[in-house]
Structure 1
Amino acid sequence: NWLVELVSGLRSVRAEMNVPPAAIAPLVIVGANVETRERAARHDPAIRRLARVGEVGFAAEAPKGSAQIVIGEATACLPLGDLIDVAAEAARLKREIEKNQGEITRIEKKLGNEKFVANAPAEVVEADREKLAELSETGDRLKLALGRVEAAA
């Protein structure tokens, strides 16, 4: 469970931040207790292979320019400053957030129109509501990713 959570979190961060698949970053675990250190040592080969990380190390505080994921009592940090163009990635995420917000506004306007809701087939209205929820979730993920990129700057 811990391993799955760690690898999933690291993969998500790599995907959100457009880290090239071939790029290998070190993994630094901050605030790890003895149990977490033992888990990391026991699963070291799997972590390296599945999350595409180099060495797995431990530190008292997060390295500058790292994306962070909280796993249990510890924080997994991927130093990304050398792997991505932070400014370009932040600009890309801001454009995505703007585009996403435009779609949300468009659908909210449509669903706010009483005539549309009254006259459109129930399936269409329901599909728009589902799309709105999906866009809202995507927007939250994009904002989280932007926060991570800006923190890595």
Structure 2
Amino acid sequence: MTQPQSETVPVQGAPVDPPSPEAEADQPGLIEQLHGLYADGRAMVDAEVSFQKVRLAAAGRQIRAMALLAFVGLVLIVCALIALVVGTMIALVPLIGGWGAMGATVLGSLLLAVLTFWLAARRIGKISALFASDTNDDEEAKAGA
């Protein structure tokens, strides 16, 4: 009668069998792994750059369309204002005459223009005061330190 072979448990300190040469040949070396890592990183960077180019092109098309629509809207607003001025003159002619209607319309338009420029100048003053206060705060902080 033969005894069945039992699995042996490695004993501490016993030499370990070296891996087979085929297993070592299947695993790439450190240099090959680094080359692969570099190639993968390069491919990711190229893909990201391509994606950002496409995204920028799409944004550029949207900005161009937006600018064109804004320009058309401004042209239509100017046309509406011209129609308002002409309509005002036509409505005032029977009341104060041709020259009076023209003078009143021009005077009203000039008053509105002065008002809008004055409001714009006030806002510019507020912006400059805002930056001036930042400069003063910086100077006070330096003087306090």
User: What TM-score comes out, normalization by structure 2 length?
Assistant: 0.24
Structure with greater contact order relative to length (CA < 8 Å, sep ≥ 6): 1
Q: Judging by fraction of residues, say which structure has more helix.
A: 2
Q: Judging by fraction of residues, say which structure has more strand.
A: 1
The structure number with the bigger radius of gyration is 2
